[in-house]
Amino acid sequence: MYNNESSVVIRKLSAASFQRQIFEEFLDFLKLIRIKENADDNFEKREPTKLLQYYKISELYIESQEEICQLTKNYPQLNLDVNNLHKLLDVFNENESNACILLDAYMQFSQLKKEYLMKEADTDADASSYIALKADQQNVYIEGSTDFINMNSDLKDLFLDNVQNKKFLASIMSICKNVRTNKRNFLASEVSGTWFAYSLIEKGVTLDFAYRGIGTSGFRKDHQTLIFSTDPGDDHIRITSMHERLMDGIAVHVEHIDRDKITDKEKMEAYRLPAAINAAKVRLHISDDAPVTAFIGRPVFENGSMDIQNGGYITSKNYDIDKLKSVHMTASACTTMFQNGIADCKVAIERMSSFVAVEFMKSVIGNVMRDTTKQTLAAAFNINTPFIDDKYSNTEVTDQFEIAKLGIQIAVDGGFDRVTWDGADRVHIPSIPIIDQMSHQQFVQLVHMAHENGLQTYFSAGLEAKHIERCVITGVDGLGIGTSLHYMDSQTKLMGAFNPKVIAEVLEKRNEAENTYLGKAAKLLAKLDRLYFEKNIHDEENLLRNDLFEAILEQDQEKVKILINDPRINRIQEIPFEDQNSVLGRAIRTIEFLKSKASNDLGLTREEKEKYHEIKTSISENDLKRLQNIFQK
């Protein structure tokens, strides 16, 4: 326990506020009971993520009573003191003005909860609590230690000293990291502190510190291909955030992945926007141990909506009427995510012609608030949705490969950072694996083309562990996997909770694939393609890049073995991996390239010398905006 009073952040809740927090935790516990009691060796049920609403205390009390009765009826052998649960619920309901009684009852509830979950005592025995709960008649006081924050150098100084709420959020974030790292359980005081942190998030206190970006193609330290582990939020908190092994090369992706048995994606998107509150809660638990990303989805168009329902598109004519609201709504949704440290927002580029899509994307960029050095925008294209191309070819594009290529062009001209290809269709749930919908050669060409145009890449739809190697050897930056990572009822096909064994298997398959000759070659090609885009590549290295592309295209393992050991890669292998900041990473690579060019008796032009000194000055002054301007020339 901590002793230094100057290192304590104290947050105060009125008895009534603490009462609401208790009821929310109480109902969450009842939901967890249903999940646990429904679990067997083959399936663990998942409660559908509900639309968040506001309820009166009286409504929360009635719902809690009804839930307890339903649990007793459904699970007569329930290993839980139900009578005591009812008594505690009455105490919670009757003491909105007595914080001392509420806190005492809350600690009893926490002990009952711990006994039901059968958490071994020795898992908590050595855990020092960095949260303390105290109460007087009117208020509960939650005390968090800032000493604990200082133990994590990547968290300190990342929030304003005078903003106590952010200090408290940072302390909870540190506790989540500590629980995960030490494989221990949350203590009762820490659970209460976490629920209070949720209340701060709901009040609009942002988590705009200690977050991780998704990195840059070819220059991520550990993995070229990130697995975007996908869930609406609850299972990320309950499962993903509790296991370090489930976060190795993971992007924690928050989105709704159920279509409620509606196969027609024109009526319902295959993936849907999650609650911003849930995304922020996930961020709290994940901290900066992995990037957290979010799905935004299709923009909302009002005029021309009937045309869309009949298979039409928004064109320049009706876009002029809709653009202000559509752009502002999408940009505002992205901004809310970004202000809570979400690393990437994915926008579905559907129901628009190519001309409108480019204009829409450029306008979103102009209106969104984000850190462009770490936070990215992704343009999602469904390869089974025809596209009206009124900007480049004046045709309707229906071929999957051509739609995917058009997506690259639109993403580049629209100014987004990532292009993602999805294979969901109007018939199949779960989707046909996207890797089965086009050839290996086509996917390699798409990834290569996107990378040399400065874009990151991503596949999604129907992927399972058995498909991972075929994806990894294309050099793709990310794989979106949701359905297959969850338990699935073999009869009803309903999706259950996250299955940690399956997630671990997917990560293992990814790691194995990256260590094959083709996997290593794909990562090297991604690195060379990035250098080509940045104009940081020598002629002989570019020849190697082209040879490597052809070898991967044909899956020529013998040629790949030779190329990945070619002396021409020596300089490339010495370039440092990127440390989160894409602009600074590019600056360092540019400096290194210009130095290598000068040392090889090639000499630098006057423009290159000026660029070298301008970049060096900008780095020394940490002027990232100036660096961005240099690279946009």
pLDDT reported for residue 117: 82
In a domain, 208, yes or no: no
Within 10 angstroms of residue 514's Cβ, the number of other Cβ atoms is 21
Residue numbers of the chain with a pLDDT score lower than 50? 1-6, 120-122, 125-126, 150-151, 153, 156-162, 306, 309-310
Tell whether 177 and 267 lie within a shared domain.
Answer: no
In a domain, 218, yes or no: no
Tell whether 20 and 46 lie within a shared domain.
Answer: yes
In a domain, 528, yes or no: yes
505: tokens are 């298997």
Using the 3D structure, point to which of 449, 480, 515 is the last residue of a domain. Answer: 515
Q: How far is 46 from 36, CA to CA, in rounded Å?
A: 10
Q: How far is 179 from 191, CA to CA, in rounded Å?
A: 11
Tell whether 453 and 305 lie within a shared domain.
Answer: yes
Tell whether 540 and 461 lie within a shared domain.
Answer: no
pLDDT reported for residue 494: 67
In a domain, 209, yes or no: no
The 10s digit of each residue's pLDDT in 564-602 is: 999 999 999 999 998 778 999 999 999 999 999 888 766
Tell whether 380 and 404 lie within a shared domain.
Answer: yes
Show the CA angle centred on residue 552, arms to residues 544 and 560, nearest 5°: 60
In a domain, 112, yes or no: yes
Using the 3D structure, point to which of 445, 480, 515 is the last residue of a domain. Answer: 515
The 10s digit of each residue's pLDDT in 335-355 is: 999 999 999 999 999 888 999
How many distinct structural domains can be found in the chain?
Answer: 3
pLDDT reported for residue 219: 95
The 10s digit of each residue's pLDDT in 221-266 is: 889 999 999 998 899 999 999 999 999 999 999 998 765 555 555 6
H or E element: which one contains 418?
strand 418-422
Tell whether 464 and 564 lie within a shared domain.
Answer: no
Using the 3D structure, point to which of 202, 217, 241 is the last residue of a domain. Answer: 202
In a domain, 422, yes or no: yes
Tell whether 288 and 180 lie within a shared domain.
Answer: no
562: tokens are 């030779």
Q: Please report, as a single letter, which amino acid is at residue 222.
A: D
In a domain, 214, yes or no: no
Domain span at 247: 226-515
Tell whether 440 and 539 lie within a shared domain.
Answer: no
The 10s digit of each residue's pLDDT in 299-317 is: 988 765 545 544 566 766 6
Tell whether 328 and 440 lie within a shared domain.
Answer: yes
Q: Which residues contact 362 (CB under 8 A, 6 or more apart)?
A: 414, 415
Tell whether 173 and 235 lie within a shared domain.
Answer: no
Tell whether 40 and 81 lie within a shared domain.
Answer: yes
CATH code, domain carrying 395: 3.20.20.380
The 10s digit of each residue's pLDDT in 19-55 is: 999 999 999 999 888 888 877 656 666 666 666 777 8
* 42: Cα within 13 Å, side-chain hemisphere: 6
In a domain, 272, yes or no: yes
Tell whether 274 and 164 lie within a shared domain.
Answer: no
